[in-house]
Amino acid sequence: MTTQRVGYALLIVLALVAPTFAYPVFLMKALCFALFACAFNLLLGYAGLMSFGHAMFFGMAGYFYGHVVKAWDMAPELGLLAGVAGAALLGLVTGALAIRRQGIYFAMITLAFAQMVYFFCIQAPFTGGEDGLQGIPRKALLGGLIPIKDDKVLYYVVLAIFLFGYATIYRVIYSPFGQVLKAIRDNEQRALSLGYEADRYKLLAFVLSAGLAGLAGATKAMVQQFATLTDVAASTSGEVVLMALVGGLGTIIGPVVGAFIIITMQNYLAATGEFVLVIQGAIFVVIVLAFRKGVVGELAEWWKRRRAG
């Protein structure tokens, strides 16, 4: 336990000084994806539900944020709120339908709904279609107290949002609710026979995960000042799965590590075009065949073995 605390303290110090040596916009983007991946992992790692359509929450929340802040000219806080609420609502509708099937069908259904949302976004007037929503203003937060035009200031806002989201997930996982989720994941029949209404727990987890993915997506729109089709596309749904997988499913910090690895990789490989996809695909293959525990999972295993012998 103490090692874990020391670890977290070090990470927070690192996060606080990070803008002095790394490009803040990169850090903010990575933090948004890290929160997105944690939200996804809450569902897969702790409730055993693999959503292959999480981009719909992430991307739609970006549009909601942009629309509220730009078209309606309202405060960014309201934009974030709209992003979270909209994504959670979308999660409620799609989740209620998707949990009617199990296992791999659940993944296909969420994927199909995300594709539906994607087609909707291409046509709907408020998303700006192929162009997306551009030039979302960075208005000051808290009624003018915190100006976020400066990337370094905004970085600390994004860090705070990330920590809030991370803490929420942490609390959920270690709450009685989280214990029930894990029981359902491990053996749904037994959980049912113990009197837990598995479907309600799954749906609540789904809505929560969707809302947090929405928070990540809205924050990303705040940082980048645009919302586009890329964030609702199936490729983004795949990316978040990859991040969680690379970092380690079912480890709470794994998705954060995975998100930083993948975003860094994309940064370096951006110039190679199609090869980003090829390499991401290859990583999927290698991880599934050889490192299913992910970076954090494998490291934990190695550490345990080292201590044991």
When asked if residue 50 is in the footprint of another protein (CB under 8 A), the reply is: yes
When asked if residue 271 is in the footprint of another protein (CB under 8 A), the reply is: no
Residue entry with tokens 């490989």: 269
Q: Which is nearer to another protein, 1 or 290 (CB)?
A: 290
Give the C-alpha separation, 37 to 26, whole Å.
Answer: 16
Name residues whose C-beta falls within 8 Å of residue 157's C-beta, 6 or more positions apart in sequence.
Answer: 141, 146, 148
When asked if residue 144 is in the footprint of another protein (CB under 8 A), the reply is: no
Burial of 149 (0-12, 13-18, 19+ CB in 10 A): exposed
Among 283, 291, 298, 300, binds another protein (CB under 8 A): 283
Give the C-alpha separation, 230 to 235, whole Å.
Answer: 8
* Minimum CB–partner distance for residue 284 and another protein (Å): 3
Give the C-alpha separation, 16 to 156, whole Å.
Answer: 8
Q: Which stretches of the chain are DSSP H helices?
A: 2-17, 24-47, 55-66, 76-98, 103-123, 151-173, 176-186, 188-193, 198-224, 234-247, 254-269, 275-290, 294-308
By rule CB under 8 A, what string of x and - marks binding of each residue 96-135 to another protein? -xx-xx-xxx-xxx-xxx-xx--xx-xx------------
Q: Which is nearer to another protein, 208 or 246 (CB)?
A: 246
Give the C-alpha separation, 271 to 273, whole Å.
Answer: 6
Q: Which is nearer to another protein, 50 or 207 (CB)?
A: 50
Segment 238 to 267, residues that bind another protein, using CB under 8 A: 238, 241, 245
Q: Please, are residues 258 and 220 in contact by the beta-carbon 8 Å criterion? A: no
CA angle 7, 36, 263 (to 5 degrees): 75
CA angle 245, 59, 8 (to 5 degrees): 45
When asked if residue 46 is in the footprint of another protein (CB under 8 A), the reply is: no
The single-letter code of the amino acid at 111 is L
When asked if residue 234 is in the footprint of another protein (CB under 8 A), the reply is: yes
* Minimum CB–partner distance for residue 176 and another protein (Å): 26
Q: Which is nearer to another protein, 33 or 52 (CB)?
A: 52
Q: Which is nearer to another protein, 28 or 233 (CB)?
A: 233
Q: Which is nearer to another protein, 71 or 286 (CB)?
A: 286
Largest CA distance in the chain: 62
The count of residues interacting with another protein (CB under 8 A) is: 40
Give the C-alpha separation, 158 to 80, whole Å.
Answer: 12
* Minimum CB–partner distance for residue 230 and another protein (Å): 14
Among 152, 285, 305, 309, binds another protein (CB under 8 A): 285
Q: Which is nearer to another protein, 161 or 249 (CB)?
A: 249
Cβ-count burial 270-283 (b if 16+ within 10 Å, e if not): eeeeeebeeebeeb
Q: Which is nearer to another protein, 216 or 242 (CB)?
A: 242
When asked if residue 215 is in the footprint of another protein (CB under 8 A), the reply is: no
When asked if residue 280 is in the footprint of another protein (CB under 8 A), the reply is: yes
Binding site for another protein (CB under 8 A): 50, 52, 97-98, 100-101, 103-105, 107-109, 111-113, 115-116, 119-120, 122-123, 234, 238, 241, 245, 273-278, 280-285, 288-289, 292
